[in-house]
Amino acid sequence: MPSRALTFSQLSAATDGFSSQNLLGEGGFGRVYKGLLEDTGEVIAVKQLNRDGLQGNGEFLVEVLMLSLLHHPNLVKLLGYSTDSNQRILVYEYMPRGSLEDHLLDLPPSWKPLPWHTRMRIAVGAAKGIQYLHEVANPPVIYRDLKASNILLDADFNAKLSDFGLAKLGPMGDQSHVSTRVMGTYGYCAPEYAMTGKLTKMSDIYSFGVVLLELITGRRAIDMARPSEEQVLLNWELSIRFSCMQASPLLRDKRRFVKLADPLLGNRYPVKALYQALAVASMCLQEDAASRPGISDVVAALSFLADPQYYPPGGTEAEHKSTHSGTDNDSSPPRAEMVRADDDMKHR
């Protein structure tokens, strides 16, 4: 269903006068309300932008245009918009599970942590959304603002990318990049883009690597509440990984990488899958943009890790225990598994 122009009175009625009881969230951009369209019976999310907020007229128009033209199961649907009464309002399909940030980084005490397999499914969904933007959309689109709060979840925890106000048409023809003012969120921006303003598809790959690392560790990209050496997620991850690789041969194995796993997972994940997911994240986070994998390779590797057939009959906890119970100190997972999640990506 294409997006349509809606009146302010329609949206006021849908949200009971933008009632605080229907408020889903708010930020520098404005507020988001849950609503019900009377003419269609659709449950909707209504984003009412502040007139002097962080999302300006340009970003508003970009989002309306982008989401009116782009359609994919892993992109949130824009159902309508309104510019009535000097307002700027965007109307989306309602995503009942909220954002990935809600379930991963701002987890209420009464909520259960996301299981490992669900985390990998969410990663695949987000990657498929980026794959559509990079490889199917014509011209290609660079998302430019991939982060946990912009990944929304439906009732079945399927991931959908939202907030396209910063999206940019990608380079075409012989162009290697798009030059633009640096925008995005600190902690997720690729270093070469932050330093030069040269935007490429690889900028999104880097941001995806940060999100994948958040899914694995349960930590924010930037968390000033942590000790100084742990405030920047990438620096902390590198220090753990480096210490693992510098250990003696008897200790240098994938089992030490469990230090990087979200403690809320307990032991309910397969260590080999953790190791391979970290390998994918590491490749996405290469400082040299040209060394990062294309998004199709990322989708292929993570789809393998999200496949239920990857896990043993006893569940992920059984695999975790069996991995720890053996005496084999080999530092490499079985080659057949690594070909799918590591080596193949390096050579393509």
Model pLDDT for residues 147-170, shown as the tens digit of each residue: 999 999 999 999 999 988 888 887
Q: Which of 121-125, 237-241, 253-257, 260-264 has the highest mean pLDDT?
A: 121-125
Higher pLDDT, 87 or 245: 87
- Give the model's pLDDT for residue 348: 39
- Provide the token pair at 110: 């009464």
- Give the model's pLDDT for residue 277: 95
| Rounded Cα–Cα distance for residues 48 and 38 (Å) | 19
Higher pLDDT, 100 or 185: 100
**pLDDT tens, residue by residue, 213-225:** 999 999 998 888 8
Q: Quick check: 44 and 14 in contact, CB under 8 A?
A: yes
| Secondary structure of residue 333 in the 3-state scheme | coil
| Rounded Cα–Cα distance for residues 224 and 244 (Å) | 25
| Rounded Cα–Cα distance for residues 264 and 335 (Å) | 29
Phi, then psi, of 99 in degrees rounded to 5 = -105, 165
- Give the model's pLDDT for residue 319: 46
Same domain, 111 and 21: no
Please determine, for residue 306, whether its predicted confidence score (pLDDT) is greater than 70.
yes
Same domain, 133 and 33: no
Phi, then psi, of 216 in degrees rounded to 5 = -70, -45
Same domain, 62 and 105: no
199 C-beta neighbours (distance < 10 Å), count: 24
- Domain range for 82: 4-93
- Give the model's pLDDT for residue 12: 95
Q: Quick check: 146 and 162 in contact, CB under 8 A?
A: no
Domain stops at, among 77, 93, 109:
93
Instruction: For residue 174, indicate whether it is catalytic.
Output: no
Domain stops at, among 93, 124, 150:
93
Catalytic residue among 52, 102, 106, 145: 145
Same domain, 104 and 246: yes
Kind plus residue range of the DSSP H or E element containing 210? helix 201-217
112 labeled part of a ligand binding site: no
Higher pLDDT, 241 or 188: 188
Phi, then psi, of 168 in degrees rounded to 5 = -135, 140
Give the pTM. 0.83
Same domain, 166 and 299: yes
- Give the model's pLDDT for residue 334: 31
CATH of the domain at 42: 3.30.200.20
Same domain, 80 and 214: no
- Give me the percent of the chain exceeding a pLDDT of 90: 50
**pLDDT tens, residue by residue, 128-147:** 999 999 999 999 999 999 99
- Give the model's pLDDT for residue 18: 95
Q: How far are the Cα atoms of 35, 272, 341, 343 from residue 336, in angstroms, in the given order?
A: 49, 12, 9, 10
pLDDT, the chain, mean: 82
**pLDDT tens, residue by residue, 45-96:** 999 988 765 556 777 888 888 888 999 999 999 999 999 888 899 999 999 9
Q: Report the candidate in 291, 318, 316 with the shortest Cα–Cα distance to residue 117.
A: 316
Domain stops at, among 93, 122, 157:
93
Q: Quick check: 284 and 298 in contact, CB under 8 A?
A: yes
The number of domains in the chain is: 2
Same domain, 41 and 189: no
- Give me the percent of the chain exceeding a pLDDT of 70: 78
CATH of the domain at 270: 1.10.510.10
- Give the model's pLDDT for residue 303: 96
Same domain, 63 and 104: no
